[in-house]
Structure 1
Amino acid sequence: MARDPGANVEAFEEHLMRRTKIVATIGPATATPSTLRRLLEAGVDVVRLNAAHSDMQTHSNNARLVRELAGELGRSVGVLVDMPGPKIRTGLVAGDEVELEGGQEFVLSGIDDGIGDARHVSTTLPDLAQWARSGDEVYLADGAIVLRVLDAVGRDVRTEVVRGGTLRSRKGMHLPRAEAHVEPFTARDALALEMAIAAKVDFLGLSFVRRAEDVERVRAMLPKRGMRPALVPKIET
C-alpha cells in the first residue's frame, strides 16, 4: 500500500517548531512588563540583551523580569547576553543623528571630545590615527557611509565623505588596518560578563570572534561550578 506523503505533515511541523527558536532583542521600547508578556505569549523562546548598549543594571533588571514573566506563564524562556566585543564605534552625535553629504570634510577623533556633529565625531579607538593612511577608506554606520582618509593630525583623522548618509550615535565603524590590532576582550565585555554570570543567563553571544583563543579566554572566566552559560560565537568578521 502506497504511503500518503502528507500523512505526517502535522507531526513534522510540530517536530520542526520544537527545534526552531524565536530570538527577540529587548530594548527600551520593549522592556515594559506588559510588552514583554505579550512577546512571550506570542512565542518568543530566547530574549537577547545587547550589552553593547544601555547599562548593565538595566540588562540585569530585564533578565530578572523575563524570568518572572516566564514563570507566571509556565514557559521556559532563555536569556542571551550579547557581548559588545571589539567592534569600533563612533561616539555620540547631536540630536542622535546627523547627515553627512558627499564631498564634505569630516573629522574622526581618537579621543572623546564631547558630542559630535555634521563635521566631526569621536570614536572608541584611541590610536585611530596610527592605523589611518591617506587614501584608505573608512566605513561608518556598518558600511552605509564611506569616507576616504585625507591625512592624520595628532589623534584626529581628516576625511572626505565619498558616500553620505545618516550617522547616528554609537554606530559601527570599520577601519581595515586597525581591525587586527583591537583588543578582543574590552573593559565593557568584562562588565557584561560579570553581569551575565550574576544574572545566571543561559547564553553568551561572543561578538566579532576571530580565533579559537577568543572563545577559550571567555570560557576560562566562567565559574568552575554551578550554572555556566553556553557560549555562542558569532562569526562575523
Structure 2
Amino acid sequence: MRRMRNVKIVATLGPASNDYEMIRKLHEAGADVFRLNMSHGDHDEIRARHEIIRQVEKDLDSPIAILADLQGPKLRVGTFANPEGEDLVEGAQFRLDLDEAEGDAKRVRLPHPEIFEALQAGAHLLVNDGKIKLRVDACGKDFADCTVLAGGVISNRKGVNVPDVVLPLKALSEKDRADLEFVCQLGVDWLALSFVQRPEDVYEARALANGRAAVLSKIEKPAAVQAFDEILRVSDGIMVARGDLGVELPVQNVPPIQKQLVRKCRAAAKPVIVATQMLESMIESPMPTRAEVSDVATAIYEGTDAIMLSAESAAGNFPIEAVTTMNNVAVEVENDPTYTDIIENTRSAKRTTVADGIVAAAREIAETTDVKAICCFTQSGTTALLTARERPRVPIIALTSQRETARRLSLSWGTNCTMTPDVERFKMAVVAAARAARKLGMATETDQIVVTAGVPFNQAGTTNILRVAPCEERLIFRTDPE
C-alpha cells in the first residue's frame, strides 16, 4: 500500500480499536505500525489484536509492523485510609517509607526499597505526573522525610518519578520478562523498553529476544538523555517518549532534546519515533488544536522516522480521524519546499563503508537525473536503513525475501517494502526491482530506477553494486506461470 508521504505513523490499539474493521480502516487511513501496550490488556487480548493485524496484512498484501511496548518498572505509592487521598500543602512535611499501613496526611508507603537505597538529601521526588513535588531532607534505607515544594492531592497508587538519581532498577520486571517471551512467540517485530536509564538495560532484552524482534529504547528519563549515545549504539531504534521526559525535566528542555535525539538517530541510520500527546485533544474532539498540528509538523520537519498516536487511537472517540489528521499534516509538510531544504541541510552521516558510499551515490544520482525510485535489495534491512538516512527526494523500495525484514522496515522513513523471491543474478534483481516500481505505481516502463544490491546475493552486509536501469527490462522467473 503506497503512502503519499515518507514519515511513518504508529497507532496504539486499545478498546476503541479492537476489531478487524477498525484496525483495517486505521491501516487504510495511514497507520503503518500498530503498537500493543503491554500495560493494558491481558495476553488473550494482545493475542487477538496480533491475529487481527496479521489478517489485515494478508488481506491487503501490505507489510505491517507490530510494536509491543513493555510496561517497565512502574514506581507507585501505596494506598490511603481516605479513598479520596490527602491534600498536601506547600511547605508541609511528608514521609515516604516501607510501612505497610495505609497512608494519611503525614506519610504513605513507597514499596520500592531500591529508591531509598539511591536517594540522598536534596534529591527531588515527583508524584502524579509531576503535579506534586517533594524535596528529600533526610533519608535512610527504609524512609525519606520530605518537604512539599508543590502541593496537591495525593491518592492511591499514584506514580512516582525520581529525576535526580539513576535508580538501581532493571529495565525489565518479572512481568516484562513474561510479556517479552509471550510477544516474541507471537511474532511481533519491535520491542519497546520503558524507563531505560543506561545501555546495560538494553542488553538483557536483546539477549531474551535473541533476534526474534528488534529492540527500541524509550528515552523518558534524564539519565537516558545523558547516556544517549551509548544507548543508541546498542539499540535498533529509539522512541522519544515526551510524557515522562517532560515530568522529570523542565518542560522547556524537551523540544531541544527531541531535536538533538532525532538528529543523532538519523546519523546512526536507526529509526526514531516521536511520541506522546501529539493530538491529545482528539481523544474527545474530531478536530485537533492548532498547537497540536504544529507539534506534529515540527517533528516531521526535524526528519523523524515516525510519529505516534497513543490514547487518541487506543481509547479516543475519533481514532480514524486522528490517523487521517496525522497523514494529512505529513503530506502537506513534505510538499513544502522548506521541508526539502531542511532535510538536505541536516545530513550529518559519517560514511565509512562501501554500503555507505553506494547509498549516498544512489541518492546523488536520484537528485541529478530523472530517476523515479531507489530500489534496494536487503536481507537484514541495513541497506534500506542507510538509504533512508540519506532522505532522498524519490521513493525508496526495499525488496527482500524476509517477511520479518519487510515488517520491521515499515517503521523506517520513506521505505516501501515489498516481498520478492531470492535472486541469484543481478539481472534478476534489476527485473524484480522494475516490476516492483511499476506495481507500486512509482514508475512506468519508460522511466528509470536506481538499483542497489550485493554480491554474493542473499547475504547480509554485502551491498556493493549500483545500476541505473530502465523499467522495461524483463525476465521470466521460474515461478512465473508462463
TM-score, scaled relative to structure 1:
0.70
Residue 188 of structure 2 corresponds to 201
Mapped contact 1:92–1:168 kept (Cα < 8 A): yes
Residue 218 of structure 2 corresponds to 234
Residue 3 of structure 1 corresponds to none
Structural mapping, 1:88-237, within 5 Å? 88-90=75-77, 100-103=87-90, 106-110=94-98, 122-123=109-110, 125-149=112-136, 155-165=142-152, 172-176=159-163, 179-223=166-210, 228-236=212-220, 237=224
The structure-2 alpha-carbon separation of the partners of 1:25 and 1:117, relative to structure 1 and needing over 3 Å to count, comes to farther
Deviation per CA, 1:121-149: give whole Å up to 9, x if none.
55452344444455532112343321233
Mapped contact 2:114–2:169 kept (Cα < 8 A): no
Mapped contact 1:110–1:128 kept (Cα < 8 A): no
- Greater Rg over alpha carbons, structure: 2
The structure-2 alpha-carbon separation of the partners of 1:88 and 1:202, relative to structure 1 and needing over 3 Å to count, comes to same
Residue 46 of structure 1 corresponds to 33
Q: 1: CA distance between counterparts of 2:64 and 2:94? A: 45
Q: How far apart are residue 48 of structure 1 and its match?
A: 1.1
Q: How far apart are residue 152 of structure 1 and its match?
A: 5.4
Report SS of the residue matched to 2:136. strand
Mapped contact 1:85–1:185 kept (Cα < 8 A): yes
TM-score, scaled relative to structure 2:
0.38
- Cα-Cα RMSD: 3.7
Report SS of the residue matched to 1:63. helix
- Where structure 1 has 5 or more consecutive residues not aligned to the other structure, the ranges are 1-12
Report SS of the residue matched to 2:8. coil
Q: How far apart are residue 198 of structure 1 and its match?
A: 1.5
Letter in 1 for 2:195: F
Letter in 2 for 1:212: P
Residue 5 of structure 1 corresponds to none
Q: How far apart are residue 118 of structure 1 and its match?
A: 7.3
Mapped contact 2:72–2:195 kept (Cα < 8 A): yes
Letter in 2 for 1:67: R
The structure-2 alpha-carbon separation of the partners of 1:102 and 1:234, relative to structure 1 and needing over 3 Å to count, comes to same
Residue 48 of structure 2 corresponds to 61
Mapped contact 2:88–2:153 kept (Cα < 8 A): no
- Where structure 2 has 5 or more consecutive residues not aligned to the other structure, the ranges are 225-482
The structure-2 alpha-carbon separation of the partners of 1:45 and 1:107, relative to structure 1 and needing over 3 Å to count, comes to farther
The structure-2 alpha-carbon separation of the partners of 1:203 and 1:121, relative to structure 1 and needing over 3 Å to count, comes to farther
Deviation per CA, 1:84-122: give whole Å up to 9, x if none.
2345344578999857443355554547767x7877655
Report SS of the residue matched to 1:88. coil
Letter in 1 for 2:219: I
How many percent identity over aligned positions?
Answer: 34
Q: 1: CA distance between counterparts of 2:14 and 2:80? A: 20
Letter in 1 for 2:213: P
Mapped contact 1:48–1:79 kept (Cα < 8 A): yes
Q: 2: CA distance between counterparts of 1:30 and 1:105? A: 45
Which structure has more relative contact order (CA 8 Å, sep 6+)? It is 1
Report SS of the residue matched to 1:38. helix
| Richer in strand (by share) | 1
Report SS of the residue matched to 1:217. helix
Deviation per CA, 1:177-225: give whole Å up to 9, x if none.
663311233212201211111210010112233333332322222246x
Structural mapping, 1:77-92, within 5 Å? 77-90=64-77
Letter in 1 for 2:47: S
The structure-2 alpha-carbon separation of the partners of 1:94 and 1:188, relative to structure 1 and needing over 3 Å to count, comes to farther
